[in-house]
Amino acid sequence: MSVEPTLLDGYLKQLRLTTFIRNHAQFAQDAAVANESYDQFLLALSREEVAQRDHNRQLQRVRAAQFPLLKELIDFDFSAIPQLNQQRILELARGQYINQAEPIILLGNPGLGKTHIATGLGLAACYQQHRVRFYNAAALVNELTLAQQAGQLPKFMATALKQQLIIIDELGFIPFSATGAQLIFQFCSTLYERVAVIITTNLNFADWTQVFGSEKLTLALLDRLTHRAHIIEFVGQSYRFRQRLQQHDRRGEN
């Protein structure tokens, strides 16, 4: 006995089985041709529904993370920085550090791909269904300052604690005010051993007082951030600078 398609689609819509609606007719036809059982047909259709929902959740995680650009680890040119341990990066991408709420600190001169690696690790976390949030360090301090002024700092911190990975990019490019330094210290202290953090910085640890001003506060922050941290140093010539040199050489050849 055939089933009225519009009636079936109506029930599936109520159940929010959108992939069922889109695929059930084709899957039923394929099952009939292959002489598959009803159980096999239902299993195939259910598998497709689950896969689509997983994919949709991944996309939602990526959008919620607010990455400035989407850069995958697979697109990173590890050959350009031979000292960078590719295997170590790929091992981190498996996400165990997130489960352990361990920090990752990527440090080195500008133009070496720290943001690319941080973003790639963040995307990998999104694909594993982790909650991720990306911040530029200066923008984060601005948001913390506004939250404090509005009396919403506890709410901001509570929201941060709902994340499983927070990325703070470009720490060290702009010095913080005394208030800003205190706020970023409070933010990182709140996350300590509760939320995994990735920080990219162009400064060696000895130079962090240039950003935070207070040596005492800097040491206290480093004590928390470096505890159980994965510290990865980027050494080499700026990728963007190499590109400019190559472009200049090509123009010279012409």
Question: What does the pLDDT average to over 137-164?
Answer: 98
Enumerate the β-bridge partners of residue 166.
Answer: 133, 197
Both 121 and 239 in one domain: the answer is yes
CB 126 within 8 A of CB 65: yes
**246 confidence band (pLDDT: 50, 70, 90):** low
Both 57 and 97 in one domain: the answer is no
Both 53 and 172 in one domain: the answer is no
Number of domains making up the chain: 2
Q: Which amino acid, one-letter code, is at 129?
A: Q
Model confidence over 194-208: pLDDT tens digits? 999 999 999 999 999
Confidence check: pLDDT of 1 > 90: no
Both 112 and 198 in one domain: the answer is yes
Confidence check: pLDDT of 229 > 80: yes
Both 101 and 54 in one domain: the answer is no
Place of tokens 């599936």: 12
Residue 213 domain-assigned? yes
Task: Give the residue from 22, 40, 63 where a domain finishes.
Answer: 63
Both 20 and 126 in one domain: the answer is no
Q: What is the pLDDT of residue 49?
A: 80
How far, in Å, CA of 197 to CA of 177, rounded? 22
Q: What is the pLDDT of residue 249?
A: 53
Question: What does the pLDDT average to over 147-172?
Answer: 97
Q: What is the DSSP letter of 175?
A: P
Which residue would you say has higher pLDDT here, 173 or 69? Answer: 69
Nearest in space to 131 (alpha carbons), one of 101, 86, 110 = 101
Task: Give the residue from 63, 89, 110 where a domain finishes.
Answer: 63
| CATH at residue 228 | 3.40.50.300
CA geometry: angle 53, 59, 61, nearest 5 deg: 105
Model confidence over 129-150: pLDDT tens digits? 999 999 999 999 999 999 999 9
Question: What does the pLDDT average to over 148-175?
Answer: 96
Both 107 and 229 in one domain: the answer is yes
Tell me which residue range forms the domain holding 25. 5-63
pTM of the model: 0.83
Residue 84 domain-assigned? yes
Residue 103 domain-assigned? yes
Both 97 and 117 in one domain: the answer is yes
In this structure, what are the phi and psi dihedrals at residue 177, rounded to the nearest 5 degrees? -70, 170
Both 237 and 126 in one domain: the answer is yes
Model confidence over 176-187: pLDDT tens digits? 999 999 999 999
Confidence check: pLDDT of 247 > 70: no
